[in-house]
Amino acid sequence: MNYLIYAGVGIVLVALQVLISRFLSIAGASPDFVLIFLVWITIREGQFVGETSGFALGLMLDIFSSGILGAHTLAKTVTCFLIGFFYDPDKVDQHIRNWPFLLLTLLAAVINNFLYYFLYTRASEISFVEFAFRYGAVGALYTVVFAILPLLYWSRRRAY
């Protein structure tokens, strides 16, 4: 049942990412709602579920965003795999309701953006280092700002 809910939320977030990013774009960077959700899933369910979700939602994002097919898929899969090393079944609650969630989101956003921009800038006139620092860093910080919202929500809910 949990997985069905995850799939539903994931689809809604992909739609939001594709449709409303123009309203939230600052200095060319947008928050990555899908990534925040993937970090949450990975912290809660572990590496395998995280990377599988990263693959599925990344693929959906690639298909509906008309970008380079496979770029989001690869970046999000690898990011969730790496974030999965911080999964600790005994500290799930502690990680989701406190500052480690923000820290892991920042780490995930940095990894994801750098991987994505590496694939994005190859075989083009764009300098990877300049592009990744200019937009990847801003985008990562912007994503962390939005990650505060679910953190506040979960920290006020009763422990499950």
Alpha-carbon distance of 15 to 12, in angstroms, equals 5
Structure tokens at 114: 């750098």
- The yes or no reply on residue 131 touching other proteins (CB under 8 A) is yes
Q: CA-CA distance, 60 to 14, in Å (whole number)? A: 7
Q: Is residue 105 near other proteins by the rule CB under 8 A?
A: no
Interface characters, 12-51, with other proteins (x: CB under 8 A) = ---x--xxxxxx-x--xxx----------------xx--x
Q: Looking at beta carbons only, is 9 or 78 nearer to other proteins?
A: 78
Closest CA to 92 of 53, 57, 49, 55: 49
129: left (phi over 0), alpha (psi -120 to 50) or beta: alpha
| Residues contributing to the site for other proteins (CB under 8 A) | 15, 18-23, 25, 28-30, 47-48, 51-52, 54-55, 58-59, 62-71, 73-74, 77-78, 81, 84, 116-117, 119-121, 124-127, 130-131, 134-135, 139
